[in-house]
Amino acid sequence: MTICILVTGGTFDKEYDEIHGRLFFKDTHVGEMLALGRSRVDVTVRTLMMIDSLEMTDDDREVIVANCGACQEDRIVVTHGTDTMVETARALARGVPGKTIVLTGAMVPYAFGSSDGLFNLGSAVSFAQVLPAGVFIAMNGRVLPWDRARKNRETGFFDEV
Amino acid sequence: MTICILVTGGTFDKEYDEIHGRLFFKDTHVGEMLALGRSRVDVTVRTLMMIDSLEMTDDDREVIVANCGACQEDRIVVTHGTDTMVETARALARGVPGKTIVLTGAMVPYAFGSSDGLFNLGSAVSFAQVLPAGVFIAMNGRVLPWDRARKNRETGFFDEV
Amino acid sequence: MTICILVTGGTFDKEYDEIHGRLFFKDTHVGEMLALGRSRVDVTVRTLMMIDSLEMTDDDREVIVANCGACQEDRIVVTHGTDTMVETARALARGVPGKTIVLTGAMVPYAFGSSDGLFNLGSAVSFAQVLPAGVFIAMNGRVLPWDRARKNRETGFFDEV
Amino acid sequence: MTICILVTGGTFDKEYDEIHGRLFFKDTHVGEMLALGRSRVDVTVRTLMMIDSLEMTDDDREVIVANCGACQEDRIVVTHGTDTMVETARALARGVPGKTIVLTGAMVPYAFGSSDGLFNLGSAVSFAQVLPAGVFIAMNGRVLPWDRARKNRETGFFDEV
């Protein structure tokens, strides 16, 4: 079983620009994280975009939907900023039937050394292997069907609704 | 749903004794790891022992079996050294029917900063929530029924047999 | 010999606000860093302010000058943002004669795990113990008299002028 | 001014062998540490040996003395295990007059992520730039002439005698 990991950016992959003191995107850390986790899961990693999910447009979401639909794998993990993760999940639920799609992200950039990203990636890759077809949000060790998840902007956590 | 996490030691929880230059056990890092992972899974953590799995006796295994049987949760994660993880899994399969038990561990101590432990813990906690009753080994992002897992002592990975 | 460490903020002590995805200041990490470095240097640590040095006013500089002058130690380390480090050094050179004052900082926040801060702190504390009276910039393993140091905004490093 | 950094091993450079659960030596981390510290000090790094200082022989010490004497730099940092650091310092004091030689090491391997090594390296490189000719031990942020330093085996720290 191969899992397709589609990278879209988000806090997960933000880096610190030490010259300007800003956060920015360069390359994804997903490969490095899988290596750190000694992952033996068969994966294909593809970077679709590297953006903050607050800046994600409908066109960007169409790119994600198209790639989830077109890839040959039936089990997909999408790394994504948490702010609009549910919106992308909704687009995927409409546009990609019959596949198991798990969206995940992080509250702290992996590059900052104290990230929840490694924990979430282990979790998402695991849920993607065993859940039935559908679109899910895997954050904070838990998994929720996309239409029952809502980000709580005060706590940063996803609540079940 | 509450998951019971039973701690038995293993590489997962080894620390570096800077006075004597040796590895040793102190307290478990499971709580700290769940906090780092921003875990929102409802868990009960109990330390049963803190030992290297090469030194685990049949009596130790009986303690683990008894605790898995007696705890009120039906979903259990056992942190364990990898060397004899399969032996403990066998004892659990015989002694604790009807529960979902996931054993996990690490190849590198969490305290060494570059551990697979956080990835594996995210993975094990996830598998424990969705797998049916049975005893499983969750390592390297994958899950295997205990009787199909074997540690490859040359690579350190668990192979499917 | 006791060294007085005066904390003013800067990148050194920035943290990541995981709810809003911004950098901010909370408490200084200097104590934690000295513990990590197993420092046995006799120090007094005092936080004067926690600000980005781009926002430092002349009044703030007067506070730093007053504290350097008033403290009973003759050897002082000032942690400081790099952008206006030289300006504060100039104020100290005018206002605090007869003491060894070493300014240091970081290009990457200590909290991000991959910081130059620990290296710079080891360096600054060392230079402060052996240099004669004067005001110095200790960054990147080197030390420069304040009037020969200039931050290169393209590289982030301090050049000798 | 160029500083010669001579690597001999010690806790500084130990790594964790995840297959056998042992500590071992591979390559030095000094280059990586200087990069992490954004060091701009002009250095030449040479690995003389990679050994635990408890296993260092008189022949090994002769190699270190010969290299310190032969190198063209007058300012030298030697990374070294702490257990016999003072013995090597004694050999250097006898065999290499007229140079500033600073020995340093670590209590925790750099590879374990929570090391005093980066702090000590910043400190040693700094002391090496400004101290007069002589042989010194730079540990825990302090510097001691070699003949006044003694490792306290109970605390792991170097005491002044």
Q: Which residues pair with C94 in a beta bridge?
A: none
pLDDT at C112: 86
Q: Is the dihedral of CA B35, B37, B43, B45 positive or negative?
A: negative
DSSP secondary structure letter of residue C110: G
Share of chain D above pLDDT 90, in %: 91
pLDDT at B114: 66
pLDDT single digits (tens) D43-83: 999 999 999 999 999 999 999 999 999 999 999 999 999 99
Q: How many angstroms separate the CA atoms of A24 and B6, rounded?
A: 40
Has C11 been annotated as catalytic? Answer: yes
pLDDT single digits (tens) A20-50: 888 999 999 999 999 999 999 999 999 999 9
pLDDT average, residue stretch D127-143: 98
Q: How many angstroms separate the CA atoms of C52 and C152, rounded?
A: 18
Which of A89-98, C8-17, C54-63, C87-96 has the weakest average pLDDT?
Answer: C8-17
From the list D37, D113, D141, which residue is nearest C126 (CB)? D141
Catalytic residue chosen out of the listed positions C11, C28, C100, C104: C11
What is the pLDDT confidence band of residue A111, given thresholds at 50, 70 and 90?
A: confident
- With H, G, I as helix, E, B as strand and everything else as coil, classify residue D121: helix
Hey, of C36, C40, C112, C119, which one would you mutate to test binding to chain D, going by the most D CBs within 10 A of its CB? C119
| Binary contact (A113, C113; C-beta < 8 A) | yes
Residue B115 has pLDDT above 90, yes or no: no
Q: How many angstroms separate the CA atoms of C23 and A125, rounded?
A: 30
Residue C115 has pLDDT above 90, yes or no: no
Q: What residues of C are in the D interface, CB distance below 8 Å?
A: 33-34, 36-41, 107, 113-116, 118-127, 129-131, 138-143, 156-158
Catalytic residue chosen out of the listed positions B11, B82, B88, B104: B11
Q: Which residues pair with D25 in a beta bridge?
A: D14
| CA separation, residue C86 to residues C10, C14, C145, D4, D89 (Å) | 13, 20, 10, 30, 38
Contacts by A83-88, CB closer than 8 A, 24 or more apart: A83/A52, A83/A53, A83/A54, A83/A151, A84/A53, A84/A54, A84/A56, A85/A53, A85/A137, A85/A139, A85/A149, A85/A151, A86/A137, A86/A146, A86/A149, A86/A150, A86/A151, A87/A56, A87/A61, A88/A8, A88/A53, A88/A56, A88/A61, A88/A64
Share of chain B above pLDDT 70, in %: 99
DSSP secondary structure letter of residue C10: S
| CA separation, residue D86 to residues C26, C145, D143 (Å) | 41, 33, 13
What is the pLDDT confidence band of residue D114, given thresholds at 50, 70 and 90?
A: low
Nearest CA in chain B to D157: B19
pLDDT average, residue stretch D154-160: 93
pLDDT single digits (tens) B8-66: 999 989 999 999 888 999 999 999 999 999 999 999 999 999 999 999 999 999 999 99
| Binary contact (D108, B16; C-beta < 8 A) | yes
